[in-house]
Amino acid sequence: MVEPIKRKTLWSVLRNCLRASLALWTVFVGVVLLWAVARETLTVEQMARVQARSAFEKDAVYRQWVASHGGVYVPVSEKTPPSPYLSDVDERDITTPSGRALTLVNPPYMTRQVHEMALQLHGLRGHITSLDPIRPANAGDEWETKALKALEQGEMEVSSVEELDNARHMRLMRPLITTEACLKCHAEYGNKVGDLRGGISVSVPMAPLQTAAREHIATLALGHGLIWLLGMGAITIGGLHLRRFARLRDWAKEQSGDHYGRDRRGTRQKPR
């Protein structure tokens, strides 16, 4: 008995190639889309970091301005009582010729009040902190303490995405280095010019950026979906043309019985 052997026609070979092309195209578009989504996520983080950096820089410039004047005098009010930490400073409290009471506001005092306003107005958080705080309430949280230790090791910036009050935030901290202007008050705590005095940490909510990114990702997915469909259509139409051609070839070969040495039932031909 002669065993029937499965015939390999041109169409069966081409069909496998076409199936492989469809699969490859799908994988290719999928990978490109995944890459674009991953990039988008990275871009969101970079944008949040840039926002946090500019928030820090603004803070630092205003602080520097206040420090360069050795603090500023503001009217005493319920919100701004004289700072107990400045009680040793000469002329912490002064009275204007007309009798208004003014008190000296040091850089962190100003920064604190500005940070409170920023949180209320824009949800932006800022915190001036140190590993060795003069004012105990200035102590950092766990993340800030870790960041300050990294700054002490010489890092110039620490940033990461963290959960804060059940929402994702980009947290960023940069150092505050002691300059001549700081010594007026900080010399008594043993600080020298060039010392790392502490840092300002700022936190930017990720939600607005993530909403924008989600919209962009939806557009990307739609665009890639359309390109994928176009490719699938093109491969299918090409495949249909090839099928007609291949089937004709296969049919012709079958007619001539010249099927890789086998006839249409798959049995070996007698050598002529």
Say how far apart CA 159 and CA 115 lie, in whole Å.
19
Each residue 142-181 as x (binds ligand HEC by CB under 6 A) or -, in order, gives ----------------------------------x-xx-x
CB of 161 to ligand HEC, least distance (A): 24
Spatial CA neighbour of 60 closest among 193, 188, 181: 181
Question: CB 52 → ligand HEC: shortest distance, Å?
Answer: 18
Binding residues for ligand HEC, rule CB under 6 A, total 27
To the nearest whole angstrom, how small is the minimum distance from the Cβ of residue 178 to ligand HEC?
5
- Of the candidate residues 56, 107, 127, 174, the single one contacting ligand HEC (CB under 6 A): 107
Which residues, numbered 112-131, are part of the site for ligand HEC (CB under 6 A)? 128-130
Which residue, 48 or 151, has its beta carbon nearer to ligand HEC? 151
What does the alpha-carbon distance between residue 152 and residue 114 come to, in Å, rounded to a whole number? 26
Reading the block at residue 218, the tokens are 């939806």
Residues 21 to 80: which contact ligand HEC by CB under 6 A? Answer: 67, 70-71
C-alpha span between 58 and 81 (Å, rounded): 25
Contacts of 72 (CB under 8 A, 6+ apart): 66, 104, 105, 110
197 binds ligand HEC, rule: CB under 6 A: yes
From candidates 86, 150, 164, 235, binder to ligand HEC by CB under 6 A: 86
Residue 180 to residues 50, 88, 184: CA-CA distances in angstroms?
29, 19, 8
Of 158 and 185, the one with the shorter C-beta distance to ligand HEC is 185
Report the length, in residues, of the chain. 272
CB of 86 to ligand HEC, least distance (A): 5
Instruction: State how far the alpha carbon of 30 is from the alpha carbons of 106, 180, 220, 223, in Å.
Output: 56, 58, 11, 12
Cβ contacts of 155 within 8 Å, gap of 6 or more = none
Residues within the interface to ligand HEC (CB under 6 A): 67, 70-71, 83, 85-86, 106-109, 128-130, 133-135, 138, 176, 178-179, 181-182, 184-186, 197-198
